[in-house]
Amino acid sequence: MAAHLRNGVRAGLIFGIVIVFLVLIGFILTATRYLQQFLKLDVLNSFATFLALLGIWGGITAAKPTERDTWLGALASGLSGGLISGVLVGIFTLIVGSQVDAGVNLRRYLVSLSPEAVNLLRFDRATGPGALMLLGILIAASLVGAILARGVGRGEWRRPVGDRWAAIRESVGQVPLVRTVLRSPVSQYVAFIAILAFVLWLPTRLTQAWDYNMGTIAIYVLLGLGLNIVVGLAGLLDLGYVAFFAVGAYTVALLTGPQPHGIMWNFWLVVPLGVALAALAGVLLGIPVLRLRGDYLAIVTLGFGEIIRILAGSDALTPFSGGPMGVVGVPLPSFFGLKLGFEEFIYLLIAGVLLVIFVTARLQNSRIGRAWIAMREDETVARAMGINTLTYKLLAFGIGASFAGLGGALFAARNQFTNPQDHTLLVSINVLAVVIVGGMGSIPGVILGAFVLKGIPEILREFENYRIIIFAALLVVMMILRPEGILPSRRRRLEIHAEATELEELTSAAG
């Protein structure tokens, strides 16, 4: 029982502090308004629903299984977790509510803590009754979460989606007719053609805004697949990946645009040049950092990315690169005399994504891909097995950078401009988040990660101000619940689970 209470108190403290923090930054008020629009509820019921969801999550977290896992222990965990979080939030409500009643302007000290948020926190009642309502909702919701965790089994909550899909596929594949169809090359070609037809048909049904959003997702797929080679396959942590994106973008902008040089070359001739220059930049970066690993490699590549951004925006290079204002007026490309409009450009992005997917799949299943994976697992052993790690590192940097250069070239042509603010460190962090959340080493995982991290924020534009916080929270949750990502590669999933099993065995043996 002591272990259950300890888990409950720990979860209660964490979720109580999280709820108070969300109130202080104004996230609670924004989330409530969104739920109000989505669920068609009034504002108080929407707030109670959001609070209950947080409480259920806290109860699931509190009901962590122990050696003597029982229903009574799970209920004790949920009750203690809900009580602690409710007391913390209730005390906070009493403090801020009394200050608002006394006429104190809290926004002088906490900009996002508006009187509207405080009144919502106490359910438009007096401070005392409002705090008691908060306490009751969190306790009840936490108990529900504990019951769910105990009834379903915590292992099921952590079970990877890929494992579930594999189990379903295996059971369905036992049927002889289904097995024959699945293994038939004709059925695979039909499935590929159907998916391709759907992808080509979808842009015709989207609005101009969603065409733009889908184009942004496609660009991040290109960037994610390139960084997936560097990080996911070769195991080289590159935080300056945006530099290669900038090389491709500025190459197209400077050589096809009317300003600042007036060269105005053909787009189809410049794109391969941008890709080649980005690959060359990747190799040049790789040469001095070949012997660095881990954090040291990340710091050096981060500095390289910042150097490129600062040089592009410097006043000294304004005659060459446009300086802080960047390059404007980049023309849209033409295809056999037909000038591509903004709506048609999405098909060029789709073609680029398909090309990069094909190249990545071929590399991943080749001798080069196996050498990268060996380097990622243990570089010393890979070198002892006869793998020239220096050459394969340069290949990883060069090929990954070329994909980023392609993404940058298409980005500059689609937006018809580029400037240093398009190539900040945040872009590298976003692309790394796409790879980690989707699943390192997995092509479908990177695509899904791009949709999750770039598509969902466009749907939930009300949360634009909290994007960085959501990214950070999502990464923390992913590292705890799904360290292998949403759709990891089979090899990566086996590696993660093997490490977890070995750790559990060592822990049990030490205990």
Measured in degrees and rounded to the nearest 5, phi and psi for residue 334 equal -115, 150
Cα–Cα distance list, 365 to 233, 359, 371, 442, 447 (Å): 11, 10, 10, 12, 18
Report the DSSP beta bridge partners of residue 338: 335
Q: What span, in angstroms and rounded, lies between the C-alpha atoms of 204 and 121? A: 45
**For the chain, what is the mean pLDDT?**
81
Domain ranges of the chain: 2-157, 159-205, 207-424
pLDDT above 80 for 463: no
Q: 478-499, pLDDT tens digit by residue? A: 776 677 777 777 666 666 655 5
Q: What is the mean pLDDT of residues 257-275?
A: 89
Report the DSSP beta bridge partners of residue 328: 417
DSSP state of 265: -
The whole-model pTM stands at 0.73
Cα–Cα distance list, 368 to 224, 353, 384, 398 (Å): 19, 21, 17, 13
Burial class (CB in 10 A: 0-12, 13-18, 19+), 321: buried
| Count of C-beta atoms within a 10 Å radius of residue 199 | 15
pLDDT of residue 317: 85
Residues 302/305/310/316 CA torsion (nearest 10 deg): 130
Measured in degrees and rounded to the nearest 5, phi and psi for residue 330 equal -70, 125
pLDDT of residue 157: 44
Q: 399-439, pLDDT tens digit by residue? A: 999 999 999 999 999 999 999 999 998 899 889 988 888 88
Q: Are 215 and 346 in contact (CB under 8 A)?
A: yes
Q: 101-130, pLDDT tens digit by residue? A: 888 777 777 777 788 888 888 888 888 888
pLDDT of residue 156: 46
Q: Are 434 and 453 in contact (CB under 8 A)?
A: yes
Percent of all residues in the chain with a pLDDT value above 90, rounded to a whole number: 19
Q: What span, in angstroms and rounded, lies between the C-alpha atoms of 350 and 209? A: 17
Q: What span, in angstroms and rounded, lies between the C-alpha atoms of 329 and 413? A: 9
